[in-house]
Amino acid sequence: MTTGHRITIERSGRHVRVVHGGRVLAESDRPLVLHETGCPERYYLPVEDVRLDLLTPSGTRTYCPFKGTASYWSLPGAPDLVWAYPEPKPEVAEIRDHLCFYEVEVV
């Protein structure tokens, strides 16, 4: 990784819920929390804890030199609300099969 840039990932014992437009999109007691230099902390939820039936895959792809290529999912009126790294870089392999949302409730 680049000097001065750090990513750490840890298991969180917190309860995380994602609600959008009054619908629960995800709820997990086993999230990972990712801390990255210069970025807000992000909760990555296991794919099994996410309502993929409510989300539509997006054609959007972005590249992070530290994590890899991200794929996105959308809701009507909320494009690219969710992302994941299907093939993360080895340094962040723990986030494979986890999805991340912009807005989460942490209880």
Domain borders along the chain are: 7-106
Count of other CB atoms within 10 angstroms of residue 80: 16
> What's the chain's length in residues?
107
Strands 68-75 and 78-84: antiparallel
Measured CA to CA, the distance from residue 73 to residue 1 in angstroms comes to 28
pLDDT of the residue at 1 = 45
Asked if residues 91 and 66 have their Cβ atoms less than 8 Å apart, the reply is: yes
| 77 Rama class: left (phi>0) / alpha (psi -120 to 50) / beta | left
pLDDT of the residue at 105 = 84
pLDDT of the residue at 63 = 98
For the chain, what is the mean pLDDT? 94
Each as own residue / partner, the long-range contacts of residues 84-88 (CB below 8 Å, 24 or more positions apart, any chain) are 84/44, 84/47
Question: Which residue ranges in the chain fall short of pLDDT 50?
Answer: 1-2
pTM of the model: 0.92
Q: Selecting from 3.90.1300.10, 2.170.150.40, 3.40.50.970, 3.40.50.2300, what CATH number does the domain 7-106 have?
A: 2.170.150.40
